[in-house]
C-alpha cells in the first residue's frame, strides 16, 4: 500500500490555470478515480490556491499515470471551462504535467500535514485552509472514496494542524489590512456590537473591512460613496445603509469607526471638519483608518484629542512585521509536522507488517494443530494428558514466535522492516502452498524407527 | 486569622504573577486562572477579616496598615467584578500585586502599636472606616484605570500599540471602569466623610474640628464633586476623564495618608 499526491498550487501554476481546475462537487471525479484498479482510495482538495489529489494505491507508477491523465484529459469542466493538456499547451506553451508536482509516501504524508497546518499556504498560518481540507475529506467520505488509510492520514493531519496552531504562533498577528484594522478597533473599543462604523468608498478594501468588522460583531455600519449606486450595491449585500459623500459631516459625528478608501486628490476629512464633528461627539473616541492613496484624511487630524488615526503605511508596516513573524514560526511548525509524520509512518509500517505477522501466526498454528492431532491419534491419552499436551504445544509455538513477531512489529516502520518481512516469508515458506509443509518438511524424525 | 492572611497574601502574589505570565506568554488560560486566584485570595482575606472582628479583643480600626489591607481587599473585589466582564488582565495583575503588598505589610505590623478606638463613639468608627475605605478603594481603581488609559492612549497615538504582540485593555473598557468606579466611589466617600463627622461629634461634640486631615479630605471631596459634575454632564472627554481620575486619587491619597505622615 502506497501513498501518492499529485497536484498544483499557487507556486506551480498560474491562477488562470488553477481556476480551470476549481471544482464544486468532487464526488463524480472521486468515483471515477477509484473505479479503476490503480487507485484504492482518493481525496481531492480544491481551493483557490491549490488542486491536489491524494490517493492510496497498490501501484504508484500506474496511479501516477492515471492521475496525470486525469488532470490532462478527464478533468470535469468547471465554470471557467475545462483545463486539460491541449488548453495548457495552447495557453502556456507547456503541458499540464509541467505544472504538476508529485509526492510519494513520506513526502505525500508531510505535504498533506503541511497543507492542513497552513504552512504551505500563500498566506502562512491562514485559518481557512483547515476547514477546506476538512470539507475535502468529508466529500471523499460521502463519495465512498476514502478508506481506512486516507481516513487515518486526514485525521492525523487535522490533529497536526491543531497542534501547530496551539503550540506555535503561526496564526498570530493579522496580515491583511482589513484584519489589522479590526484588531486596531478592538484596542479602542471593547464591544463592537454597540458601535457605528462609517465606510467611505465602495471598493474591495471597504468590502473586506466591512466583512471583517461585521464578522467581529459590529453593530451598525453606513457606506458613503461618490457613486450612490455602487454604495447601494455594496450596502445591500451587507445589509447596511448607503449615502452619498454629501452626507459625510452628519455621518462622521455618529461614527465610532471611520474607514476611508477613495481616490481623491484632496483629503475628504480635514482638521476643521474633524474638530467640528468631535465637538458634537463630546469627547468620545473615534478610530479613523485611512486606506486611501493619496491619503483621504489630513494627517493633522491624528493630533486631535480622542482621534486615533492610522494610514495605509502604518497598517502595511504591521502586516509585513506579522508576516515575518509567521515565517519565523514555520521552522517550529515544521518540527511538529516531522514528528507527526514519523508517527503516521510508524502506523502505516505496522499496517504493512500485519499480513506477514498474520500469515506466520496462522502457519505456526496450523503446524501445531496438525502435529498435535497426529500425536493424539498415536498415543493413548486421557483428557488431562491431552489438555497438557495442547498447552505445551501452544506454549512452545508462542515462545518460538515471540521474538520474530516482536521484531517484525518493531521494525515495521524502518528500512529493515521490509527485509525482515521478506526473510520471514521465505524462511517460513509463507508464500508456498500450506499442504506440503506440515506433513513433509516437519515430519518427526522419530517416525522413521 | 494570621494563617488566612498569609494564605491570602500568597494567593494574591501568585495571581499577580499568573496575570503577568498570561500577558507575556501570552495565554488566555493562565490570565483567566489569575482571576480565579484573585477570587480565592479575596475569599481568604474576607475570612481573615471576619475572624479578626469576631475575636475577643479586636484590633484597632484606625490603624493605617489594617485600613490599607481593607482597601486592597475591596479593590480586589471590584477588580474581579470588572475583569470578569472585560479584557483587563493587566489591571488585575497590578491589583493582585498591590493587594499582596498591603496584606503582607499588615502581617509584619506589631499588633501592640494599634491605636484603640474610644468606646463612646459607638458604631460610627466602624461605619466611617468601612465606607471611607470602600470609597477610597473604588476611587483608587478609577485612578488605576486612568493611569492605564493614559498609557494606552499614548501607545495608540504613537502607533506603538500596533506593534505589540499582546493587545492591552481597550480604552473603552478602561473608561467604563473609571466611570463606574467614580459613580460608586464618590457617594461612598461622601458617606465616609459624613460618618467621620458623626464620629467626631460623638467624641468631641463638634462635627468639624478643622484638623489638617479633615480639611484636606474635605478639599479632596470637593475636587471629586467637581470631577463627577463635569464627567456626568458629558463635558469631559474620556482621556481628560482619565487624567482627572488620576489627579483626584493622588490628591485623595495625600489628604488621607500624606497629611498624617507630614504632621
Average pLDDT in the B72-96 region? 89
Average pLDDT in the A110-134 region? 93
- Could you say which architecture CATH assigns to the domain A177-319? 3-Layer(aba) Sandwich (3.40)
A294 prior amide bond cis, ω within 30: yes
Distance CA A87, CA A75 (A): 12
Mean pLDDT value across chain A: 87
What does residue A196 show for φ and ψ, rounded to 5 degrees? -115, 135
Among the partner residues B86, B156, B236, nearest to A308 by beta-carbon distance: B156
3 state DSSP class of B121: helix
Q: Is residue B193 part of a domain?
A: yes
How many angstroms separate the CA of residue B113 from the nearest CA in chain A?
47
Q: Is residue B133 part of a domain?
A: yes
Whether A30 contacts A123, CB under 8 Å: no
Q: Is residue B25 part of a domain?
A: yes
Q: Is residue B116 part of a domain?
A: no
Question: Looking at beta carbons, which residues of chain A come within 8 Å of B156?
Answer: 187-188, 308
* Helix orientation angle between B64-83 and B28-54, rounded to the nearest 10 degrees: 140
Q: Is residue B90 part of a domain?
A: yes
pLDDT, position A308: 94
Q: B139-182, pLDDT tens digit by residue?
A: 999 999 999 999 999 989 988 756 666 677 899 999 999 999 99
pLDDT, position A81: 55
Candidates B88, B148, B156, partner chain A, best to mutate (most A CBs within 10 A): B156
Q: Where are the alpha helices (DSSP H) in B110-253?
A: 124-158, 171-204, 212-232, 238-253
Band (pLDDT 50/70/90 cuts) for residue A258 is: very high
pLDDT of B220 strictly over 60 = yes
How many angstroms separate the CA of residue B88 from the nearest CA in chain A?
10
Task: Sketch the domain layout of chain A as residue ranges.
Answer: 2-172, 177-319, 350-448
Asked if A181 has any chain B CB less than 8 Å from its own CB, the reply is no
pLDDT of A271 strictly over 90 = yes
Q: What is the DSSP letter of A55?
A: E
Percent of chain A with pLDDT over 90: 53
| CATH 3.30.460.30 matches A2-172 | yes
Neighbours of A439 (CB within 10 A): 12
Among the partner residues B167, B234, B235, nearest to A187 by beta-carbon distance: B167
Q: Is residue B115 part of a domain?
A: no
Length of chain B: 263
Set A48, A186, A354, A441: catalytic member: A48
Active-site annotation holds for A146: no
Q: A150-161, pLDDT tens digit by residue?
A: 999 999 999 999
B210 and B173 assigned to the same domain: yes
Strand-pair category, A101-104 with A196-200: unpaired
Full residue range of the structural domain in which residue B13 is found: 1-110
B131 and B252 assigned to the same domain: yes
pLDDT of A435 strictly over 60 = no
B103: left (phi over 0), alpha (psi -120 to 50) or beta: alpha
Whether B1 contacts B48, CB under 8 Å: yes
Could you tell me which residues are beta bridge partners of residue B213?
none
pTM flag (> 0.80): no
Boundary-marking domain end, from B110, B132, B149: B110
Distance CA B174, CA B150 (A): 10
Question: Looking at beta carbons, which residues of chain B come within 8 Å of A314?
Answer: 159, 162
B153 and B62 assigned to the same domain: no
Question: Looking at beta carbons, which residues of chain A come within 8 Å of B234?
Answer: 282-283
B93 and B17 assigned to the same domain: yes
How many angstroms separate the CA of residue A190 from the nearest CA in chain B?
6
Boundary-marking domain end, from B53, B75, B110: B110
Count of domains observed in chain B: 2
CB contact under 8 A, B239 and A305: yes
Greatest alpha-carbon pair distance for chain B in Å reads 61
Question: Looking at beta carbons, which residues of chain A come within 8 Å of B176?
Answer: 190
CB contact under 8 A, A284 and B237: yes
Distance CA B55, CA A356 (A): 80
Nearest to A19 by CA among A59, A51, A44: A51
Q: What is the DSSP letter of A308?
A: E
Q: Is residue B117 part of a domain?
A: no
Question: Looking at beta carbons, which residues of chain B come within 8 Å of A302?
Answer: 157
Helix (H) or strand (E) holding A343: helix A312-378
Among the partner residues B159, B176, B238, nearest to A285 by beta-carbon distance: B238
B45 and B74 assigned to the same domain: yes
How many angstroms separate the CA of residue B150 from the nearest CA in chain A?
11
pLDDT, position A439: 46
Q: Is residue B68 part of a domain?
A: yes
Amino acid at each position: 500500500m502506497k501513498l501518492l499526491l499529485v497536484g498544483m498550487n499557487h507556486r506551480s501554476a498560474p491562477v488562470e490555470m488553477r481556476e480551470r481546475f476549481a471544482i464544486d462537487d468532487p464526488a463524480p471525479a472521486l468515483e471515477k478515480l477509484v473505479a479503476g484498479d490503480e487507485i484504492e482510495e482518493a481525496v481531492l482538495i480544491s481551493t483557490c490556491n491549490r488542486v491536489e489529489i491524494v490517493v492510496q494505491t497498490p501501484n504508484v507508477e500506474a496511479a501516477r499515470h492515471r492521475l496525470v491523465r486525469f488532470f490532462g484529459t478527464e478533468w470535469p469542466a468547471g465554470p471557467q471551462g475545462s483545463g486539460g493538456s491541449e488548453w495548457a499547451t495552447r495557453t502556456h506553451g507547456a503541458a499540464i504535467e509541467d505544472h504538476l508536482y508529485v509526492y510519494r509516501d513520506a513526502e505525500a504524508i508531510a505535504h498533506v500535514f503541511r497543507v492542513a497546518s497552513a504552512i504551505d499556504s500563500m498566506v502562512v498560518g491562514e485559518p481557512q485552509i483547515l476547514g477546506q481540507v476538512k470539507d475535502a475529506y468529508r466529500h471523499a467520505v460521502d463519495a465512498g472514496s476514502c478508506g481506512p488509510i486516507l481516513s487515518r492520514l486526514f485525521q492525523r493531519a487535522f490533529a497536526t494542524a491543531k497542534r501547530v496552531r496551539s503550540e506555535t504562533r503561526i496564526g498570530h498577528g493579522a496580515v491583511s489590512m482589513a484584519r489589522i484594522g479590526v484588531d486596531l478597533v478592538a484596542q479602542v473599543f471593547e464591544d463592537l456590537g454597540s458601535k457605528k462604523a462609517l465606510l467611505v468608498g465602495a471598493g474591495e478594501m471597504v468590502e473586506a473591512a466591512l466583512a471583517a468588522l461585521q464578522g467581529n460583531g459590529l453593530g451598525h455600519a453606513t457606506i458613503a460613496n461618490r457613486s450612490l449606486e455602487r454604495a447601494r450595491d455594496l450596502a445591500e449585500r451587507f445589509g447596511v445603509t448607503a449615502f452619498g459623500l454629501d452626507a459625510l459631516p452628519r455621518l462622521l459625528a455618529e461614527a465610532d469607526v471611520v474607514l476611508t478608501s477613495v481616490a481623491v486628490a484632496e483629503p475628504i476629512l480635514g482638521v476643521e471638519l474633524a474638530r467640528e464633528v468631535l465637538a458634537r461627539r463630546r469627547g468620545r473616541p473615534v478610530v479613523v483608518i485611512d486606506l486611501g492613496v493619496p491619503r483621504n484624511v489630513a494627517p493633522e487630524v491624528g493630533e486631535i484629542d480622542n482621534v486615533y488615526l492610522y494610514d495605509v503605511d502604518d497598517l502595511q508596516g504591521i502586516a509585513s512585521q506579522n508576516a515575518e513573524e509567521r515565517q519565523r514560526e514555520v521552522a517550529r511548525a515544521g518540527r511538529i509536522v516531522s514528528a507527526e509524520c514519523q508517527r503516521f509512518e510508524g502506523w502505516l509500517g505496522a499496517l504493512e507488517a500485519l499480513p506477514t505477522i498474520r500469515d506466520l501466526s496462522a502457519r505456526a498454528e496450523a503446524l501445531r494443530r496438525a502435529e498435535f492431532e497426529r500425536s493424539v491419534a498415536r498415543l493413548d491419552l486421557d483428557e488431562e494428558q491431552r489438555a497438557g499436551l495442547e498447552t505445551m504445544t501452544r506454549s512452545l509455538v508462542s515462545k518460538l514466535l515471540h521474538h520474530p513477531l516482536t521484531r517484525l512489529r518493531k521494525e515495521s516502520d524502518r528500512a529493515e522492516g521490509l527485509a525482515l518481512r521478506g526473510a520471514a516469508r521465505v524462511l517460513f515458506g509463507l508464500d508456498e502452498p500450506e499442504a506440503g509443509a506440515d506433513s513433509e518438511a516437519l515430519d518427526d524424525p522419530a517416525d522413521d524407527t | 486569622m494570621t494563617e488566612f492572611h498569609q494564605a491570602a497574601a500568597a494567593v494574591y502574589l501568585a495571581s499577580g504573577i499568573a496575570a503577568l505570565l498570561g500577558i507575556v506568554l501570552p495565554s488566555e488560560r493562565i490570565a483567566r486562572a489569575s482571576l480565579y486566584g484573585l477570587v480565592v485570595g479575596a475569599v481568604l482575606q474576607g475570612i481573615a477579616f471576619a475572624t479578626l472582628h469576631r475575636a475577643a479583643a479586636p484590633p484597632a480600626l484606625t490603624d493605617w496598615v489594617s485600613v490599607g489591607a481593607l482597601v486592597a481587599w475591596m479593590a480586589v473585589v471590584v477588580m474581579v467584578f470588572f475583569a470578569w466582564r472585560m479584557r483587563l488582565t493587566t489591571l488585575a495583575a497590578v491589583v493582585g500585586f498591590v493587594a499582596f503588598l498591603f496584606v503582607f505589610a499588615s502581617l509584619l505590623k506589631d499588633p501592640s502599636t494599634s491605636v484603640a478606638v474610644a468606646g463612646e463613639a459607638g458604631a460610627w468608627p466602624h461605619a466611617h472606616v468601612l465606607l471611607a475605605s470602600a470609597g477610597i478603594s473604588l476611587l483608587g481603581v478609577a485612578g488605576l484605570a486612568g493611569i492605564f488609559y493614559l498609557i494606552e492612549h499614548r501607545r495608540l497615538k504613537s502607533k506603538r500599540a500596533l506593534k505589540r504582540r499582546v493587545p492591552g485593555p481597550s480604552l473603552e473598557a478602561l473608561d467604563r471602569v473609571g466611570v463606574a468606579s467614580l459613580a460608586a466611589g464618590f457617594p461612598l466617600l461622601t458617606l465616609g466623610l459624613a460618618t467621620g463627622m458623626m464620629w467626631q461629634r460623638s467624641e468631641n461634640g463638634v462635627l468639624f474640628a478643622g484638623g489638617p486631615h479633615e480639611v484636606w479630605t474635605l478639599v479632596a471631596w470637593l475636587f471629586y464633586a467637581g470631577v463627577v459634575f463635569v464627567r456626568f454632564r458629558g463635558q469631559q472627554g474620556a482621556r481628560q476623564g482619565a487624567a482627572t481620575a488620576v489627579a483626584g486619587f493622588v490628591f485623595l491619597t495625600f489628604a488621607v495618608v500624606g497629611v498624617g505622615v507630614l504632621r
